[in-house]
Chains A and B, each alone.
Chain A
């Protein structure tokens, strides 16, 4: 069964600190993986997208890694800011013969305290 598991479920850190969010998936055949940031009451906004051949991709203070062999990805946030408080969702696309499905994790709720 194709699944996406994220950990931790929630995380509280102090402003300025770093943190790492985890995503494990069983989606096969794998196509790509995206990390989204979703502010409360808003639609998700893409942070990074990674394909099978990519190991690391950065977007400002966000750095995503992908290990396609172990089917794991992480999102590292450096020098956190109050505005980083949001839900971070890992989404994996499969390379199916028809639609090509999107599989969502439940998200990690990050809270940054001053």
Chain B
């Protein structure tokens, strides 16, 4: 049904390293989102985008940053990874204006910072 891809699926990285989580969608959706989810817990919005060159912070404070230079691409960057960043990161996109018809999710990136 959905064509939204996240890479990598799993990442183990040392403290202090810079990382970029990739998210791409081929559906031409204007809205894209990044969520953070700890095991067994709810999703928390950390970033979202209306469209190209538009990004906003979400409900949960995050040290990550995002960019939206192309409609299909919404990467998330951590300049200096810490163990507290260990979590699952889910990217999503949605269509519809002004009424988003829900969202399509990627498979997620499970990040472990050691």
Contacts and interface: CB of A to CB of B under 8 A. Distances in A.
Size range of the interface on B?
A: 20 to 34
A44 B105 contact: yes
A32 B101 contact: yes
Contacts, number: 71
Contact of B33 (A41, A89, A102): A102
Nearest to B45: A102
A102 B105 CA distance: 13
A8 B106 CA distance: 26
Nearest to B41: A106
Where chain B touches its partner, the secondary structure class is loop
Contacts of B88: 41
Contact of B105 (A31, A43, A93, A109): A43
Nearest to B33: A102
Contacts of B31: 99-100
B106 to A, nearest CB: 5
Given A41-B108, A46-B1, A102 B42 contact: no
A105 B2 CA distance: 22
A109 B42 CA distance: 11
A107 B39 CA distance: 12
Nearest to A107: B42
Interface of A: 31-32, 34, 36, 41-46, 49, 89, 91, 93, 95-100, 102, 104-107, 109
Interface of B: 1-2, 6, 31, 33, 40-43, 45, 48, 50, 56, 88, 90, 92, 94, 96-108, 110
